[in-house]
């Protein structure tokens, strides 16, 4: 790969006058999406099966990417003769969480962990086939455990369980909503690859060092919920004790979530810098396995909030919209977004008392400034070390 990559960019400015003129329509953000796609989707041939990676947004999240943008991508792929399919993977874990908010109001969160509930939230958020024009396929299966193991020489990991269904496709377009992320500082194309395209095993390996059963486990007194929940039969009870066959375990965490005994399991969370490096190792497995020449990236830097679409409380935007970025390089496209975010003025923020905080100034990397426990540079350092892209780019305005 050359050490400078092309990133195409369209600003988000929209005019409100001259409704019917071409000059006005060229400022429309969906038209701009199409103009970016014309630049980056030069690799799609008639008949290609094209996977379109999306994130449909967690339940109660209201800042996930609007389906209108995704619809534009689907339409464009069809116009090139490609056959598009939306693809998604299941979230980490197996069990949704029920929270009692008041006497008569129980909410259910963490619903993207298995296909049935994930599909419902996709429909609710406008990602159904009748609206978007393409079917949605879970490429890691109903439970998120179907994978193909790809060997890599990563910073921490030597192989990656890439979602198996990805390999049914010829090309992939990765659509990302650029925004903050609690552990990795920001979420963009690299996170869509490193978390969004892997099976639960490697989502677990990004977040956790290990897990094991502790002495608090009481198999003679409980309902053996862990054995019932395990999707691969990796847990057995012998001589009054349970044991886990780690060779067949797919690291789905169902046993931990379904066990009703407190502290029967011990799991060790990784520090955020290691999480980020392992996420990039995962991304390296996806790019290596699928082929970098077969993947294109489009980042929508719109509704840029502090937290990820995978949680229920994204918060309000922290900077103005920055526009649309497209590239064949996942590192360059994310770096261009972070640079634009850094150069943008912040938006004023309201405190819970209803007063206003001063906005962060242009020149400050906002995610790192607001969430001091993570740094945007971690992703880039790891990605360059693994050789999956460039931090140097030429920004070409559309």
Q: Does 206 bind ligand SF4 (CB under 6 A)?
A: no
The answer to the question of residue 38 lying near ligand SF4 (CB under 6 A) is no
CB-based contact 380:327 (threshold 8 Å):
no
Stretch that binds ligand SF4, among 65-73, 159-167, 176-184, 210-218 (CB under 6 A): 210-218
| Residue 90 touches ligand SF4, criterion: CB under 6 A | no
Query: Do residues 200 and 282 make contact, with C-beta atoms less than 8 angstroms apart?
Result: no
Nearer to ligand SF4 by Cβ, of 164 and 347: the residue is: 164
DSSP label at residue 299: E
The site map against ligand SF4 for 228-257 (x = CB under 6 A) is: -xx-x-xx------x-x----xxxxxxx--
157 near ligand SF4, rule: CB under 6 A: no
Beta carbon of residue 93, minimum distance to ligand SF4 (angstroms, whole number): 10
Return the residue of 21, 79, 210, 218 that touches ligand SF4, per CB under 6 A. 218
Q: Is 94 in contact with 254 (CB distance < 8 Å)?
A: yes
How far apart, in whole angstroms, are the C-alpha atoms of residue 320 and residue 188? 17
CA separation for the pair 250, 225 (Å, rounded): 17
Binding ligand SF4 (rule: CB under 6 A), the pick from 35, 109, 155, 261 is 261
- Residue that is written with structure tokens 């339940």 in the block: 59
- What is the β-pairing status of strands 393-397 and 5-10? parallel
How is the chain split among helix, strand and coil, in percent rounded to 5?
30, 25, 45
Cβ proximity to ligand SF4: between 135 and 269 the closer is 269
CA distance 192 to 181: 12
Q: Are 171 and 51 in contact (CB under 8 A)?
A: yes
Count of residues near ligand SF4 by CB under 6 A = 25
d(CA 370, CA 185): 9
Closest distance of CB 53 from ligand SF4, Å: 25
Among 25, 35, 164, 224, binds ligand SF4 (CB under 6 A): 224
Binding flag, residue 199, ligand SF4 (CB under 6 A) = no
Query: Which region among 1-9, 34-42, 258-266, 307-315 touches ligand SF4 (by CB under 6 A)?
Result: 258-266
Could you tell me the two tokens for 211?
A: 């897990």
DSSP 338: H
Q: Which residues contact 46 (CB under 8 A, 6 or more apart)?
A: 80, 81, 82
The three-class DSSP label of residue 120 is helix
Residues 318-357, mask of contacts with ligand SF4 (x by CB under 6 A) = ----------------------------------------
Stretch that binds ligand SF4, among 5-13, 28-36, 221-229, 304-312 (CB under 6 A): 221-229
Least Cβ distance, residue 286 to ligand SF4 (angstroms): 22
Distance in Å, CB of 253 to ligand SF4, minimum: 5
Write down the residue that tokens 């994130």 correspond to. Answer: 55
Residues at the contact surface with ligand SF4, assessed by CB under 6 A: 213, 217-219, 222, 224-226, 229-230, 232, 234-235, 242, 244, 249-255, 259, 261, 264
């Amino acid at each position: 790969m050359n050490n400078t990559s092309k990133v195409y960019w369209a600003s988000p400015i929209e005019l409100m006058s001259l409704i019917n003129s071409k000059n006005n329509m060229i400022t429309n953000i969906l038209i701009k999406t199409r103009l970016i796609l014309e630049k980056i989707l030069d690799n799609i041939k008639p008949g290609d099966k094209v996977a379109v990676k999306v994130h449909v947004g967690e339940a109660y999240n209201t800042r996930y990417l609007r389906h209108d943008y995704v619809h534009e991508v689907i339409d464009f792929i069809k116009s090139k003769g490609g056959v598009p399919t939306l693809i998604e993977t299941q979230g980490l874990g197996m069990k949704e969480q029920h929270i009692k908010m008041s006497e008569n109001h129980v909410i259910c969160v963490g619903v993207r962990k298995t296909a049935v509930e994930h599909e419902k939230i996709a429909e609710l958020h406008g990602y159904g086939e009748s609206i978007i024009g393409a079917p949605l396929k879970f490429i890691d299966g109903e439970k998120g455990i179907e994978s193909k193991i790809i060997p890599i020489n990563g910073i921490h990991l030597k192989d990656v369980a890439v979602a198996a269904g990805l390999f049914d496709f010829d090309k992939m377009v990765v659509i990302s909503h650029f925004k903050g992320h609690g552990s990795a500082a920001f979420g963009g194309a690299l996170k869509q690859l490193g978390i969004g395209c892997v099976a639960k095993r490697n989502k677990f390996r990004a977040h956790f060092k290990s897990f094991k059963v502790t002495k608090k486990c009481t198999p003679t007194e409980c309902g053996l919920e862990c054995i019932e929940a395990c999707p691969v039969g990796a847990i057995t009870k012998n001589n009054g004790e349970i044991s886990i066959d780690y060779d067949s375990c797919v690291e789905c965490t169902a046993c931990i979530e379904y066990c009703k005994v407190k502290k029967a399991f011990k799991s060790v969370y990784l520090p955020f810098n290691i999480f980020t490096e392992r996420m990039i190792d995962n991304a390296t497995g996806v790019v290596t396995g699928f082929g970098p020449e077969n993947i294109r990236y489009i980042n929508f830097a719109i509704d840029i909030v502090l937290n990820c679409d995978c949680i229920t409380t994204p918060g309000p935007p922290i900077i103005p919209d920055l526009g649309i970025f497209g590239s064949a390089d996942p590192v360059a496209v994310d770096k261009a977004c972070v640079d634009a975010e850094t150069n943008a003025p912040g938006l004023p923020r309201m405190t819970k008392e209803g007063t206003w905080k001063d906005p962060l100034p242009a020149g400050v990397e906002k995610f790192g400034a607001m969430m001091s426990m993570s740094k945007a540079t971690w992703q880039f350092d790891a990605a360059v070390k693994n050789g999956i892209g460039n931090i140097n780019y030429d920004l070409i305005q559309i």
